């Protein structure tokens, strides 16, 4: 038998085992799930977009270091746009 702390840690780290308090009949799709009128963010998609943004920033820094300043600054601008999208998921 699990303690409450073990159950909560398992829910936190194992996404597929999370307990959703919404009945299946009320749940149309995951995108429709809302708490207090706000959409629940998808942590996996947020993480992927964050990694993409970091990769673009690293690439921009490398390009700037090699002397390609215009392309580096353009890539930093793209990374900021990706950052905005990241916050909207």
What pLDDT shows up at residue 23?
58
Spell out the domain ranges in the chain: 4-88
Q: CA distances (Å), 9 to each of 4, 52, 71, 78, in order? A: 9, 27, 44, 36
Q: From first to last of the 89 residues of the chain, give the pLDDT tens digit.
A: 678 888 878 878 877 766 666 555 555 555 556 666 777 778 899 999 999 999 999 999 999 999 999 999 999 999 999 999 998 88
């Amino acid at each position: 038998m699990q303690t409450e702390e073990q159950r909560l840690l398992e829910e936190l780290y194992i996404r597929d085992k999370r307990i959703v308090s919404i009945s299946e009949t009320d749940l149309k799709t995951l995108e429709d799930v809302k708490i207090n009128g706000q959409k629940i963010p998808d942590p996996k998609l947020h993480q992927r977009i964050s990694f993409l943004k970091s990769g673009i920033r690293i690439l921009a820094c490398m390009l700037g270091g090699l002397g390609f300043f215009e392309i580096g600054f353009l890539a930093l601008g793209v990374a900021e746009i990706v950052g905005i999208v990241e916050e909207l998921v």
